């Protein structure tokens, strides 16, 4: 499941980063059971002390939960938030939904452009490449759309924002798919995503923020032109 850690610098922090990345990428989902401490120590090729320290940090951040005598599991830290989003999203109007996305995602793009590592940029680019491959498959495209936006939040290095983004986008999944059914919307969104990625790649914070704002405003306009079940998207 995990690859070895190559050096001794802040081992526990490196393990924390790898596990957090696996959770953010969807490789580990809420409820998944992790290997035992002994197994993870062997996989990472570190001491069990480093594993315990990492688990303690991840548990403190609400990403893992330890059930003594049972195992280590990926926590569901978003559940209460997600339930609240899901309930509120059903009754929220189009303006409210897009306003909150603009507030969150424009700033996420700004900070992603400032803080994104080469690995972050590679991940966002790979997600966008997959979206292009699946452009005609709306269900898959909707998933890659959500991953694109969450990957930007992760690149901002704000863990709380990542949690909120997953909750918001998952609760609005039906509306996101509906918006992609609008003729030409998928292709337009992919082009807009490319503009966002370009700004992040060039570490141009203001342009990244403006590109995300332009994207969400464009999607909002498309959705307004055709009523959908739960308003929002992409």
What pLDDT, on a 0 to 100 scale, did the predictor assign at position 43?
93
The neighbour count for residue 68, using CB atoms within 10 Å, is 5
The pLDDT value given to residue 82: 54
- Please report the pLDDT score of residue 5 as a whole number: 55
d(C-alpha 73, C-alpha 25), whole Å: 16
* Residues of the chain falling short of pLDDT 50: 6, 8-9, 80, 228-233
- For residue 230, the model assigns a pLDDT of 42
Which pLDDT does position 81 carry in this prediction? 53
Q: How far apart are CA 219 and CA 164, in angstroms?
A: 20
Q: Is 171 exposed, middle or buried (0-12, 13-18, 19+ CB in 10 A)?
A: buried
Contact (Cβ atoms closer than 8 angstroms) between residue 182 and residue 61: no
Residues 155, 116 contacting (CB under 8 angstroms)? yes
- What the chain holds in terms of domains, given with CATH numbers, is 11-74 (1.10.10.10), 79-224 (1.20.120.530)
pLDDT of residue 232: 45
Q: What is the DSSP string of 152-179?
A: HHHHTT-HHHHHHHHHHHHHTHHHHHHH
Q: What pLDDT score does 89 carry?
A: 53
d(C-alpha 197, C-alpha 192), whole Å: 9
pLDDT of residue 228: 44
Q: Which helix (H) or strand (E) holds 105?
A: helix 94-115
Tell me the pTM: 0.62
CB neighbours of 29 closer than 8 A, spacing ≥ 6? 23, 74
Note the pLDDT of residue 67: 86
The C-alpha atoms of residue 129 and residue 141 are separated, in whole angstroms, by: 11
pLDDT score for 2: 63
* Residue among 83, 70, 112, 141 nearest 208 (CA): 112
């Amino acid at each position: 499941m995990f690859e070895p850690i190559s050096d001794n610098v802040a081992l526990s922090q490196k393990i924390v980063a790898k596990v957090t990345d696996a959770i953010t990428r969807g490789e580990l989902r809420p409820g998944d059971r992790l290997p035992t401490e002994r197994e993870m120590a062997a996989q990472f090729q570190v001491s069990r002390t480093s594993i315990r320290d990492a688990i303690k940090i991840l548990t403190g951040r609400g990403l893992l939960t330890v059930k003594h005598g049972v195992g280590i599991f990926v926590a569901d830290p978003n559940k209460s938030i997600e339930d609240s989003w899901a309930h509120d999203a059903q009754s929220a109007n189009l303006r409210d939904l897009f306003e909150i996305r603009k507030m969150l995602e424009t700033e996420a793009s700004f900070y992603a452009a400032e803080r994104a590592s080469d690995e972050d940029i590679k991940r966002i680019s790979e997600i966008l490449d997959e979206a292009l491959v699946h452009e005609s498959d709306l269900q898959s495209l909707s998933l890659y759309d959500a991953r694109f936006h969450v990957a930007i939040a992760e690149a901002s290095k704000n863990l709380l924002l990542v949690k909120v983004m997953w909750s918001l986008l998952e609760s609005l999944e039906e509306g996101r798919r509906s918006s992609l059914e609008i003729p030409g919307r998928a292709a337009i969104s992919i082009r807009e995503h490319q503009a966002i990625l370009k700004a992040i790649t060039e570490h141009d914070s203001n342009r990244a923020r403006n590109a995300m704002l332009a994207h969400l405003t464009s999607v909002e306009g498309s959705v307004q032109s055709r009523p959908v079940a739960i308003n929002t998207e992409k």
